[in-house]
């Protein structure tokens, strides 16, 4: 494929990610408002859903999960929980630490099969969802594993092919916000 054709195909892919992400963001934001109401609680879950969609789209387009988003988001979640819902903070910190440790172990054992951005995203999901992070991350792992299997079969390859993993983790978290009743952020 010539460089110009590759560049054009890449631009088309990024546009498709932007359109699909916009649709998903509106859909999940609307679902969060319906689920939690137009309250501070509901609006913060809307922001969380939009953040997850942004991270998924960013990873699809660049194969990176940006620290300039995940780290401030994690700090914000801890500050909100500490200021407004203090009893939920230990659970959130434990879930964030456990998710970070588990995904770091997977990355080490798979010798680079997972990036540090995915590990930090898992920690953010733990902080955000507390105990609801477990079903969220399990869903993300299963769906991401199925996607990996499809890539391996389609390309008749082995470990040489990679996928953007954050979209699957974000999918699990987005569903968990709506389905598993995580603690309020305020």
Q: What is the pLDDT of residue 158?
A: 60
How many other CB atoms sit within 10 Å of the CB of residue 165? 26
Query: Which DSSP letter does residue 183 get?
Result: P
Which residues neighbour 54 within 8 Å (Cβ) at sequence distance 6 or greater?
21, 25, 69
Q: What is the pLDDT of residue 155?
A: 78
146: three-class secondary structure by DSSP: helix
Residues of the chain with pLDDT below 70 are 1, 157-160
Q: What is the pLDDT of residue 157?
A: 59
Q: Which two tokens stand for residue 43?
A: 């609006």
Q: What is the pLDDT of residue 7?
A: 81
Which of 134, 64, 139, 144 has its CA nearest to residue 110?
Answer: 144
Q: What is the pLDDT of residue 162?
A: 78
Alpha-carbon distance of 18 to 4, in angstroms, equals 21
């Amino acid at each position: 494929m010539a460089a110009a054709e590759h560049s054009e195909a890449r631009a088309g892919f990024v546009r498709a990610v932007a359109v699909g992400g916009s649709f998903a963001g509106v859909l999940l934001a609307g679902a969060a408002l319906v689920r939690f109401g137009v309250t501070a609680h509901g609006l913060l879950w809307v922001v969380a859903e939009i953040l997850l969609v942004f991270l998924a789209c960013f990873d699809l387009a660049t194969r990176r999960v940006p620290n300039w988003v995940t780290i401030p988001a994690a700090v914000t979640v801890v500050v909100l929980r500490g200021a407004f819902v203090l009893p939920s903070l230990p659970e959130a910190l434990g879930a964030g630490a456990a998710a970070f440790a588990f995904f770091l172990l997977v990355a080490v054992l798979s010798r680079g099969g997972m990036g540090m951005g995915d590990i930090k995203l898992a920690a953010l999901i733990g902080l955000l969802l507390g105990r609801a992070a477990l079903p969220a991350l399990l869903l993300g792992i299963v769906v991401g594993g199925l996607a990996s299997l499809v890539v391996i079969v389609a390309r008749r390859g082995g470990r040489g092919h990679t996928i953007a993993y954050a979209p699957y983790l974000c999918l699990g978290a987005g569903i968990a916000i709506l389905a598993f009743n995580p603690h309020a952020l305020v």
